[in-house]
Amino acid sequence: MKTVQLSDITLREIVKSRALSFKERVEIARTLDRLKVDAIELPPIRDPRADVLSNKTIASVVNYARLSAAVGLTEESVAEAWDSIKSAHRPALHIMVPVSPVQMEYQCHKKAPAMLELVRALVAKARYYTERVELSAVDATRAEPQFLTQVLSAAVEAGASAITLCDSAGIMTPAECGGFIGGLLEEVPALGGVALGVELSDGLRMAVACAAAAVDAGAAVVKTAITPMDVPAMEDFAAYLQVKGEERGLRFGLRTTELQRAAAQLRWLLQTERSSGSPFDTGVDNTAAGICLTAGDDISEVAKVVRHLGYDLGEEDTAKVYEAFRQIADRKHFVSTKELDAIVASAALQVPSTYRIVSYVITCGNAISAMANVTLEREGKRLHGVCMGDGPIDAAFLAVEQIVGHHYELDDFQIQAVTEGREAMGSAVVKLRDKGRLYSGNGISTDVVGASIRAYISALNKIVYEEA
């Protein structure tokens, strides 16, 4: 039996059309890993502040899939990409180079000889860091045949362990695709010793059929997406493998029983309308909107409602959400689904909590200066800070800085109500600037000071995590 690997490009490609939040990136990666896709592909790093942190966090939560980071067309970008995913369970570097005359000329402003040398240099640089180096020949189906064979041979000689052939224009029929793959395997025998894959555009609405023909011809990796994109949908190609796999001697490791639900969940998550509204506007159905939790509900009941909202959290994140839920429920007795969604946004899918809030006491009034007494915990040790400030929130932030021993520039600070009424839950956003980089944190509480401190700690933990 031949094993067919599925490599998901959702995260790599969706950033071209919309911005993803930190939480959305991590949640997509978690979902794909839970499905046991063979590889999760990440986009090139464009914002060193946000993208590196995002990649490092994804690397910490992906336990099964190979995590493949795309690099730019410079050797410096190779090192940057590797640094962001080197802690992953199965890290890989992905070099994408155009090989057709039109793509090389107008995208890279390079002729064939210069591109050939660039391929050698980039693959060799990536191979220095890891054995898993993939070269994608972009627009390979419109490349000059002789030049394409030179590029593929050079990449394998330089150390590439995986080669992907891209029909970027989507111009091939299934028969043409099979012939293309078979011909290259004969022309470049070295391709038989690497993981040969295909990335097929669906321009002619035949991408799934072309992928099937490519696999029959010798390819072993197919690029798919779990959300609608111009490549074979993961659900569609998995359906083909389920129906035809055994008779064609093919097997794959995807958890198909969870695929439909996971795909629907991610499509909902990535709705543009949802992201453009309030961060706590979940778009849940009417049955979910009417649910109300109380302080007496245990972790299983809370987890059930969280799943109803569309989240599929692991045990660790569920425990964090339940702890935050109890803190809110003990103070206001009832927690709505809108409030619970805000709790999930602030408590789950975050970087590891280096600092954790133990307690805070604020003294203020119109006749005295505000004073904050804050206790944090780090690695089991309790740390205390006491400071006066220009108001309770300023005093609290200064107390945290006293504990940490470092001053961070407060770039932005916002507070908004999640719900209405006297017992409304508030959300705070804090943006800290450190060494020219911006870090955003979110916090929730029934009081604005508590929400503000939690947001500050959330941003602080991101700074500490990136510096680690």
HEC readout, the chain: CEECEEEECHHHHHCCCCCCCHHHHHHHHHHHHHCCCCEEEECCCCCHHHHHHHHHHHHHHCCCCEEEEEECCCHHHHHHHHHHHCCCCCEEEEEEEECCHHHHHHHHCCCHHHHHHHHHHHHHHHHHHCCCEEEEEECHHHCCHHHHHHHHHHHHHHCCCEEEEEECCCCCCHHHHHHHHHHHHHHCHHHHHCEEEEEECCCCCCHHHHHHHHHHHCCCEEEEECCCCCCCEHHHHHHHHHHHCCCCCEECCCCHHHHHHHHHHHHHHCCHHHHHCCCCCCCCCHHHHCCEEECCCCHHHHHHHHHHCCCCCCHHHHHHHHHHHHHHHHHHCEEEHHHHHHHHHHHCCCCCCCCEEEEEEEECCCCCCEEEEEEEEECCEEEEEEEEECCHHHHHHHHHHHHHCCCCEEEEEEEEECCCCCCCCEEEEEEEEECCEEEEEEEEECCHHHHHHHHHHHHHHHHHHHHC
Q: Which of these, 108, 197, 107, 111, lies nearest to 152 by C-alpha position?
A: 197
Q: Which of these, 464, 442, 438, 458, lies nearest to 357 by C-alpha position?
A: 458
Residues 342 and 363 in one domain: no
The CA-to-CA distance between both ends of the chain, in Å, stands at 44
Residues 46 and 195 in one domain: yes
Give the total number of structural domains in the chain: 3
Q: Which of 347, 367, 382 is the last residue of a domain?
A: 347
State residue 64's pLDDT score: 94
Q: Which of 237, 269, 301 is the last residue of a domain?
A: 269
- Residue numbers of the domain that contains 312: 278-347
State residue 280's pLDDT score: 36
To the question of pTM greater than 0.95 for the whole model, the response is no
CB 314 within 8 A of CB 424: no
CB 210 within 8 A of CB 172: yes
Residues 60 and 164 in one domain: yes
List, in order, residues 6 or more apart from 424 with CB less than 8 Å away.
417, 418, 446
CATH number at residue 412: 3.30.160.270
Residues 59 and 18 in one domain: yes
Residues 211 and 180 in one domain: yes
Q: Which of 320, 347, 374 is the last residue of a domain?
A: 347
Find the Cα–Cα–Cα–Cα dihedral 294, 443, 289, 297, rounded to 10°. Answer: -20
Residues 401 and 331 in one domain: no
The pLDDT tens digits along the chain (468 residues) read 999 999 999 999 988 877 777 778 888 998 999 999 999 999 999 888 778 888 998 998 899 999 999 999 999 999 999 999 999 999 999 999 999 998 888 778 888 999 999 999 999 999 999 999 999 999 999 999 999 999 999 999 999 999 999 999 999 999 999 999 999 999 999 999 999 999 999 989 999 999 999 999 999 999 999 988 899 999 999 999 999 999 999 999 999 888 888 888 787 777 644 444 433 333 444 344 446 788 778 898 888 888 776 666 778 888 888 888 888 888 766 787 777 877 776 676 566 788 999 999 999 887 788 899 999 999 999 999 999 988 899 999 999 999 999 988 888 888 776 555 545 567 788 888 888 777 778 787 778 888 899 989 988 988 888 776
State residue 425's pLDDT score: 65
Residues 246 and 386 in one domain: no
For 436, other C-beta atoms within 10 Å of its C-beta total 8
Residues 321 and 232 in one domain: no
Give me 253's structure tokens.
């490791």
Residues 89 and 115 in one domain: yes
Residues 88 and 58 in one domain: yes
CA distance 234 to 254: 10
Give me 273's structure tokens.
């309308």
List, in order, residues 6 or more apart from 237 with CB less than 8 Å away.
6, 208, 211, 212, 222, 224
CA distance 401 to 372: 12
State residue 203's pLDDT score: 87
Residues 336 and 424 in one domain: no
Residues 286 and 261 in one domain: no
Strands 334-336 and 292-294: antiparallel
Give me 4's structure tokens.
């067919």
CATH number at residue 151: 3.20.20.70
Give me 315's structure tokens.
């045990």
Q: Which of these, 451, 460, 468, lies nearest to 353 by C-alpha position?
A: 460
